Amino acid sequence: MTLTADTLPTPLGGQLVWRVGNLDAAELATLPTLELSARNYADLELIATGVYSPLTGFMGEADYQSVIDRMRLASGTPWSVPITLGVSREDAPRLRGPVALTYHGELVGRLDVQEQYEAHKQYEAREVYRTQDEAHPGVAALYAQGDINLAGNVTLLRLDRGRFPEYHHTPRETRDAFAARGWQTVVAFQTRNPIHRAHEYLHKVALEHVDGLLLHPLVGETKSDDVPADVRMRAYRELLAHYYPAARTFLSVYPAAMRYAGPREAVMHAISRRNYGCTHFIVGRDHAGVGSYYGTYDAQEIFNAFSRAELGIEILKFEHTFYCRKCTQLVSPRTCPHDSSEHLVLSGTKVREILRSGGDLPVEFTRPEVAEVLREAYRDV
C-alpha cells in the first residue's frame, strides 16, 4: 500500500488550515500596525500553518468564554487554552478592519479584526492556570497583555523557519515525511528540557508499539532559567546519532511559546500533535508544569474529560521513571518493588549544580554525550 499524508489522522476540524502568503507588502504598509509579542507571533505562525487547526485566527468572545468554561470551542470542538491577542484600551479604537502585524518592527502578517471584547484576565487565570498568582510565569504574561482582545482571521506574510531551519517543519511537511517513511502510527514527545535516560526509556517503550517517534522540542519563548533551545537541540542531535534507530525517529521543532498551563496546556499540546499527523502522544509527570501549581499527574487526569474519538489522538500516560540500583535498570513505580533510597533521582537544581561545578552526571541519569553538551553550556555560567 502506498501511504500518503492523508493516511494519517485527520486534523482537528477535518481540514488542515493554511493561511500563509497571498499578502501585498506594499498594501500592508498602508494599514494601522500592531507590534506582536514573542508569544503572539508564535501563535500567529501556529494558526497560519495549521498547528492550531481548526483555528483560523485569534479567538472571538464566544470561543474565548467557551474554552475557559468547558475546554471546548463554541462549536463543541475540544480546545483547552484561549488563543487571544490583547491590546490596551487606548490602542483598541484605531485597530479595526484590516491591521498589519509586525514583530521586531518587521511586517509579518495581517489580522482582519472582526470583534473586540473585554478580556477577563483574573477569571481566565483562575480557570486556565488554576492560580491568580503573578509569580506564575503564564499568569504574569496574561496579566501583561492588554485588556481588550482583538478577534479575527490572520494571514502570515511568509514562513520564517527561525534558528533551526532544517528542523522547522509545518504539519503539511511532517505528514509528508511520515508517509514517505511508511509510518501509519507516530508517537510524539514534547519537551522543553534536555532528554535524560528516563525520557529515553519512555520513547523506546512507546517505539515497541508504534512505527515512528516525533521528538518535538518546544523552541519558543520559555522561562529565563530553562535550558536554552540551542543547547537542547545539540543534546538531541547527539542522542539521536548514537542511541536511536534513525529510520524510526524524526527530530523537528515545535515553535510555540510555553504558557506553563500544566494540564490545560497538555491538552493543547496533544491536539497540536494530532494536527502534525501523530496518532499517539506521551504525557508524563507534571507535563507543562512549573513550581508546585499542579499535581504530579494532573496533566494525565485532565484527559478523562475527553473521549478518544473527539481528541483523535491516543494519550500514553507514564508514571515517573528512574534508575533503580537494586533493579540495575530504568523502572517506574509500576515495576520496581524497592525503597526510594535505591532510586537515582536528580532535580533540575541538582543537575545545574553538578554541571556548574564541572562534575560528571551519572551515566545512569544521562548519556555521556548529552552530559558533555550540557557541561560545556554551563561551564561559563
Q: Where in the sequence numbering do the catalytic residues fall?
A: 192-193
Residues 288 and 253: beta-carbon distance below 8 Å: no
Residue 190's nearest CA partner among 291, 295, 261, 84 is 261
Q: Provide the sign of the torsion angle of the four alpha carbons 21, 26, 27, 28, taken in this order.
A: positive
What is the C-alpha to C-alpha distance for residues 213 and 240, in angstroms, rounded to an integer?
11
Please enumerate in sequence order all residues whose Cβ is within 8 A of that of 373, keeping only pairs 6 or more positions apart, or say none.
194, 231, 234, 235, 238
List, in sequence order, the alpha helices (H) in 145-244.
Answer: 171-180, 197-207, 229-243
Length of the chain: 381
Residues 186 and 280: beta-carbon distance below 8 Å: yes
Residue 127 is classified by DSSP as I
38, 229, 265 from 224: Cα distances, Å:
14, 11, 19
Please enumerate in sequence order all residues whose Cβ is within 8 A of that of 25, keeping only pairs 6 or more positions apart, or say none.
107, 157
Per the DSSP assignment, residues forming a β-bridge with 197 are: none
Query: How far from chain centre, in Å, is Cα 88?
Result: 27
